[in-house]
Amino acid sequence: MANTEFTADSNEALSLQLMRFKDDIDMLSPREADLVETFHPRFTYPIFGEGEKIYGYEDLEIHLKFASGSLRQFLSVQWGSKVANADDVEGTLYKFIPPDYHKSEADFMAGVQGDSTTFRPFGVKIYSYTPASYNRGTSKREDDQEPPAPFQDDSVVYEVYWVDWKTPGFREYHRRMQIFILLYIEGGSYIQEDEDKWEFAVLYERLKRKDGVYTYHFIGYSSLYGFYCWPDKVRLRLSQFVIVGPYQQKGHGSRLYRAIYEHILESRPDVAELTVEDPSEAFEDLRDKCDLRMLLSSEKFLKEAYGEDGAGKLGPPMDRVWTEKWRRDLKIAGRQFSRLMEMMILRKLHSDDEKRIRAYRLQVKERIFRFNYELLSQMEKTERVEKLEETFESVKEDYKRILALVE
């Protein structure tokens, strides 16, 4: 059994930091100081094993630093004392980061200085937004919320770039940023570089220095994979989605998702729909809220959905031909669009309208049954009815929770 005195928690031992040149640090407000402070990963088990423990060290400190734009890396492993058969920390990390990382902090910081003015994002800019000047860095918001309205000052602009493997230099850049997938996404893993159908949306902060020079700082990214969709289109599956620690809970996740969705909707006639691979509960909430806000902002949709006299296409029961047309036009996957329609119905469903309540209950239960057919079909009828009712009530309460956050 390992000596617990020489066993370190790998999540606590590993510290990360996005390094900026001093001219860029000087541009930060006091409340933005956390952007250059050290932070810790959420997970390290893909690197150090399920137990997330490192054996053989006292006072172990692992520093993995990144140039905030180019993501060039510096690795330092320090300890107070070490036993003879200690785990090889650097050798383990070497398997997950590019081999050109720095061991000299002085050389690394010289690279940070040089990269600060020469690094430029890869790909094509598809989206940008700005925070409200009076609110910049003043508070932390839930990551699904929209940052404040745009303002005229262009000292800080957030930009999203669309890129794929064909872009020169991006493959090497991706090797630097992909480690955040392991550190922040449960069950995350590296993608296969030999598959050419991958596409990426990468989010940066563009900072304008006092001398007018622009610098770029990495915030997060999403990877998407294209599948054939009969007869002549592509189904894009959002596979990975990460915002790095210092930028979390500040609204950037919703903006990145919105950038991806609007790009697909407005600029990609080859894409039939956007799907999401095994979303976490947090990401599913983010997507639900973004999609709902989009629907609630469409006067045409709302007018047709609810009707002027309350007898619109949503019913219930909803007009399936009408909903399928809107689903295709909005390029939203089937199950997700059905859930959105159920939420939109619920927001206008009155507790004293028994006929519509019954129709709504049947509509939701039908979808639940279809989605869970294999499991439910094996149950006895009484048990199946009880399970459907229990699931329906749970789904309805969750819908109410989400609706309360967007209205």
CB 35 within 8 A of CB 52: no
Q: State the catalytic residue, choosing from 172, 193, 277, 390.
A: 277
Non-local CB neighbours of 242 within 8 Å, separated by 6+ positions: 180, 181, 184, 185, 188, 220, 221, 222
- Assess whether 277 carries a catalytic annotation: yes
The candidate with the shortest Cα–Cα distance to 63, out of 44, 81, 90, 43, is: 90
Non-local CB neighbours of 333 within 8 Å, separated by 6+ positions: 273, 274, 275, 276
DSSP class per residue in 280-340: -HHHHHHHHHHHHHHHHT-HHHHHHHH-TTS--TT-SSP-HHHHHHHHHHHTB-HHHHHHH
Tokens of 150: 């745009």
Give catalytic residues, as residue numbers.
277
